[in-house]
Chain A
Amino acid sequence: MDNKFQRILKKVQKPARYTGGEYKQIIKDKSVVDIRVAYCFPDTYEIGMSNLGLRIMYGIINGFDRVWCERVFAPWQDMEAEMRSAGLTLYGLESGDPISDFDIISFSVGYELSYTNVLNMLDLSGVNIRAADRDNTAPLIIAGGSCCYNPEPLSDFIDLFVVGDGEEVIGEIIALVKENKKCADSSREELLKAASKIKGVYIPSQYDITYNDDGTINEVLPKNDAPFPVIKRIVSDLDSSYYPADTIVPSMGLVHDRAVLELFRGCIRGCRFCQAGHTNRPVRSRSCETLVSQGIEALERSGYDELALLSLSTSDYANLSKLCDGLISWCEPRKINLSLPSLRADNFSVELMEQVQKVRKSGLTFAPEAGSQRLRDVINKNLTQEDLLKTCRVAFEGGWNSIKLYFMLGLPTETDEDIIGIAELAHAVFYTWKQYAKNKNRGARITVSTSCFVPKPHTPFQWEAQISIDEYLRRVQLLKASMKSKAITYNWHSPEQGFVEAVLARGDRRLGCALEAAWKSGARLDSWSECFALNHWTDAFASCGIDPAFYALRERNDHEVLPWSIVSTGIGTDYFKNERLASRQGTKTTDCLEGCTNCGACELMQRAEDKNGE
């Protein structure tokens, strides 16, 4: 660290975000490295280092001979100002070297409100932000992560998108870049054409889009035999796939400071609002034996005192009891706590929580999502009020006094009765506490949170309109007025962030102009409510002649060409149409265990296995 850098660090909050040097960071000898990769997480260090995907990709890429992957995070506002005034460009945390000299700059994009951070990080690196302005002397800019199921809004800036699981495809991309680097006179265009032949890779410059007079898409035209659609990649066997047991242990507090196990990918439930539940199908599980040994290894190597069992719906893991037994017997004598987020509100969950939380008791959080049975049927969230109250009874009898309940406002078909239903449900939970709580001295703490529903691509609700900011606020006031107990706290998320999220989530490539304008006017770290300002965005949309309501508030025609049709998750549009129809009839769709609904995702397994057999 030179004196100039130390002077900067003296002036910023949390300087440990910017130094690297953590236990288990990977340092390689540059003289034996051919390809350097900057793995950029477009949010702060504390958020990025909590991300399991980062740790998986960091381990896999650094596992390649002669390839060195370093981490880069978005600097906080104070650090950005210091870097710009000192002329310091964005650097890899491990080496401190500027990433503009690297071969690949890779972004992990999991949240639409981090798009401006992507632009800002490119700019801070000294790299042209627009792909069209870059030649082969610039690093190849790639992106992966859950936002790439609709890559279009970022397509002006990113050379190459990875759709789906990144574990296998990253090696193929690096091999191609390595090959390309050997030919001194090869062009960026040639590299991209070759890359478009890699399965699961989407190269936006290889497609032309035409539009109708009403602003909708007319046609997507692939060039140079580029595939249409690009089908997502999946890892078919999680047991044999890489797990980062021996990973970086940060020297500063993270958002989630703990060891993590990934139980399975995908979800058997078909909640109709949920993007992750659909895009990650089919369900692929790790075996109980693998998980127990991975969990123990991760805890021994890291020294963490908490292990989180991650998945989209942990209650659905087939051997959950056995898994917990196996881990508890090791963890309890060592004062290690198990944490089980994403539990369903059923009795089993609370019994399990009592069993696993012998060391420290955390709060209980459930997500009924909607207040009335009718609306829960619409979204296919198969939880009844009876289930929830039974669960609460067991929890209160077991000594819990604090429960958090999550809901969305603005789900399709929602009426005022459904909203009042949220308050009634919360009161019923409070009444259950009054009846059954073991220890009433400390009082009950029931927290209700609402956020504004954001319709997402690749879900049965991808055609739906979002409710406006004003309408959301009206519904918030209605709900607030319906809450009559002091024991119930009501928090609501800002609808403004949800509105911009909705524009970007279902946007097309014409939004590139607005992203650049918003970033130029100061939009960054938009996922942080203290940094987000709606006017950055409304000004940007206006200056580009874009009507944000066209993207967020408009119900799509069911034969409209959707921007994300360029990508296939393995689930066909007809399936989503039928699911949408079923939602209007309040018809339940079975989960994958009760019976196959022929969504089509399982065919990806065959495809993945065929590929392995090649």
Chain B
Amino acid sequence: MVNKLRLRYSKTGKAKYISHLDLMATMRRALTRAGVALKYSEGFNPHPYISVAMPLSVGLESDCELMDIGLATDSKVVDLPERLSGLLPEGLVITESYTPLRKFSDISWLEITGVLYYDKAMPDDLAQKLMQRYSCQNILISKKTKRGMSDIDISPHIRDVEFHGGEKITFRAKISAQNPTLGPDNIMAALDDEYERLAPDYAAFSRYELFDESISVFR
């Protein structure tokens, strides 16, 4: 049986450009530097047990990342969040470490925040117009799936939507984390055709919190 430890961490600023695979290697090295002995797989090419809850795309920030690691029996995990944070690149900070009680598959909702930037002058009621768009009964977007592109209605998979501001719009919403997995790009994809004039010139998003099916915080 693997002795598991769950790390909660944020990935912001310059670190948002570290890809998922590179992040795994970066974490592995930092854990080694921190003196944490990892459990390795058997076989021809042994690798440590490291698993990330929902791989984050490049360019997206997060304050609520989760990673499970398998520990060898003699691991030093005292004060791990502080020690490990001091051994990581800029923008990666470990906020908690604990023994996991729940499975990643219990994660259902993801709260995200974002800032939408517009280069041209926009109407004063832009935030309201955006709210209206995301209050529609049927919000069809085209999404990449295993079977190629397909149209899905995201309205049941997005809730508690908020848009505020004028020239720069702040956004907050809870979106489906798994089955289907939605990301900010899927949400922004709703701003096409007749809504294209509402689409920002640039937008930056961040994951804020994870929830289970009953909208309780997931740890």
* Separation of A20 and B17 alpha carbons in the complex (Å): 10
Contacts of A23 in B (CB 8 A): 26, 30, 87-89
Query: B34-50: which have CB < 8 Å to A?
Result: 40, 44-46
Judge whether B17 and A16 touch: CB under 8 Å.
Answer: yes
Judge whether B22 and A16 touch: CB under 8 Å.
Answer: yes
Judge whether B19 and A16 touch: CB under 8 Å.
Answer: yes
Contacts of A334 in B (CB 8 A): 32
Chain A interface bracket (under 10, 10 to 19, 20 to 34, 35 or more):
20 to 34
Chain B interface bracket (under 10, 10 to 19, 20 to 34, 35 or more):
20 to 34
Chain A minimum-CB-distance residue to B201: A7
Chain A minimum-CB-distance residue to B40: A335
Judge whether B29 and A249 touch: CB under 8 Å.
Answer: yes
* Separation of A361 and B15 alpha carbons in the complex (Å): 33
* Separation of A15 and B89 alpha carbons in the complex (Å): 15
Contacts of A10 in B (CB 8 A): 59, 202
Contacts of A7 in B (CB 8 A): 202
A303-B28, A359-B46 are known contacts. Are A9 and B59 too (CB-CB below 8 A)? yes
Contacts of B59 in A (CB 8 A): 9-10, 15
A10-B202, A20-B14, A300-B33 are known contacts. Are A251 and B22 too (CB-CB below 8 A)? yes
B188 interface contact, C-beta 8 A: no
Chain B nearest CB from A27 CB (Å) reads 9
Chain A nearest CB from B50 CB (Å) reads 13
Contacts of A6 in B (CB 8 A): 202, 204
Judge whether B89 and A253 touch: CB under 8 Å.
Answer: no
Judge whether A22 and B19 touch: CB under 8 Å.
Answer: no
Give the one of A16, A253, A301 with max B CB within 10 A: A16
Chain A minimum-CB-distance residue to B21: A253
Interface string of A249-280 (1 = CB under 8 A from B): 10111000100000000000000000000000
A304 interface contact, C-beta 8 A: yes
Judge whether B117 and A3 touch: CB under 8 Å.
Answer: yes
Judge whether B33 and A251 touch: CB under 8 Å.
Answer: no
A9-B59, A251-B26, A253-B25 are known contacts. Are A303 and B19 too (CB-CB below 8 A)? no
Judge whether B18 and A16 touch: CB under 8 Å.
Answer: yes
Judge whether B29 and A15 touch: CB under 8 Å.
Answer: no
Judge whether A21 and B89 touch: CB under 8 Å.
Answer: yes
B217 interface contact, C-beta 8 A: no
Judge whether B88 and A253 touch: CB under 8 Å.
Answer: no
Chain A minimum-CB-distance residue to B27: A303
A1 interface contact, C-beta 8 A: yes
A197 interface contact, C-beta 8 A: no
* Separation of A20 and B23 alpha carbons in the complex (Å): 15
Contacts of B202 in A (CB 8 A): 3, 6-7, 10
A302 interface contact, C-beta 8 A: yes
Contacts of A300 in B (CB 8 A): 33
* Separation of A22 and B17 alpha carbons in the complex (Å): 11
* Separation of A303 and B48 alpha carbons in the complex (Å): 13
B153 interface contact, C-beta 8 A: no
Contacts of A302 in B (CB 8 A): 29, 33
* Separation of A9 and B117 alpha carbons in the complex (Å): 16
* Separation of A257 and B88 alpha carbons in the complex (Å): 17
Contacts of B30 in A (CB 8 A): 23, 303
Contacts of B26 in A (CB 8 A): 23, 249, 251
A10-B202, A251-B15 are known contacts. Are A21 and B29 too (CB-CB below 8 A)? no
Judge whether A303 and B117 touch: CB under 8 Å.
Answer: no
* Separation of A19 and B13 alpha carbons in the complex (Å): 10
B31 interface contact, C-beta 8 A: yes
Q: A251, A305, A335: which contacts B89 (Cβ < 8 A)?
A: A251
Chain A nearest CB from B161 CB (Å) reads 23
Contacts of B89 in A (CB 8 A): 21-23, 249, 251
A607 interface contact, C-beta 8 A: no
Chain A nearest CB from B207 CB (Å) reads 17
Chain A minimum-CB-distance residue to B203: A10
A10-B202, A253-B21 are known contacts. Are A21 and B15 too (CB-CB below 8 A)? yes
Judge whether B15 and A304 touch: CB under 8 Å.
Answer: no
Contacts of B166 in A (CB 8 A): none
Judge whether A21 and B91 touch: CB under 8 Å.
Answer: yes
A21-B90, A251-B18 are known contacts. Are A15 and B32 too (CB-CB below 8 A)? no
* Separation of A252 and B26 alpha carbons in the complex (Å): 8
Chain B minimum-CB-distance residue to A7: B202
Judge whether B58 and A335 touch: CB under 8 Å.
Answer: no
Contacts of A253 in B (CB 8 A): 21-22, 25
Contacts of B88 in A (CB 8 A): 23
* Separation of A382 and B63 alpha carbons in the complex (Å): 60
A438 interface contact, C-beta 8 A: no
Chain B minimum-CB-distance residue to A10: B59
Chain B nearest CB from A110 CB (Å) reads 25
* Separation of A9 and B45 alpha carbons in the complex (Å): 35
Q: B14, B23, B40: which contacts A21 (Cβ < 8 A)?
A: B14
Chain B minimum-CB-distance residue to A20: B14
A360 interface contact, C-beta 8 A: yes
* Separation of A253 and B13 alpha carbons in the complex (Å): 19
* Separation of A15 and B19 alpha carbons in the complex (Å): 9
* 24 chain-A/chain-B pairs, Cβ below 8 angstroms: A6-B204, A7-B202, A15-B17, A16-B18, A16-B22, A19-B14, A20-B90, A21-B13, A21-B15, A21-B89, A21-B90, A22-B89, A22-B90, A23-B30, A23-B87, A249-B26, A249-B89, A251-B18, A251-B22, A251-B89, A252-B18, A303-B29, A334-B32, A360-B44
Given A1-B13, A3-B202, A302-B29, 16 further pairs, Cβ under 8 A: A1-B14, A9-B17, A9-B59, A20-B90, A21-B14, A23-B88, A23-B89, A251-B15, A251-B22, A251-B23, A252-B18, A252-B19, A257-B25, A303-B28, A334-B32, A360-B45
> Which B residues fall within an 8 A CB radius of A?
13-15, 17-19, 21-23, 25-26, 28-33, 40, 44-46, 58-59, 87-91, 117, 202, 204
Nearest 6 interchain pairs by C-beta: A303-B29, A21-B14, A303-B32, A21-B90, A15-B17, A303-B33
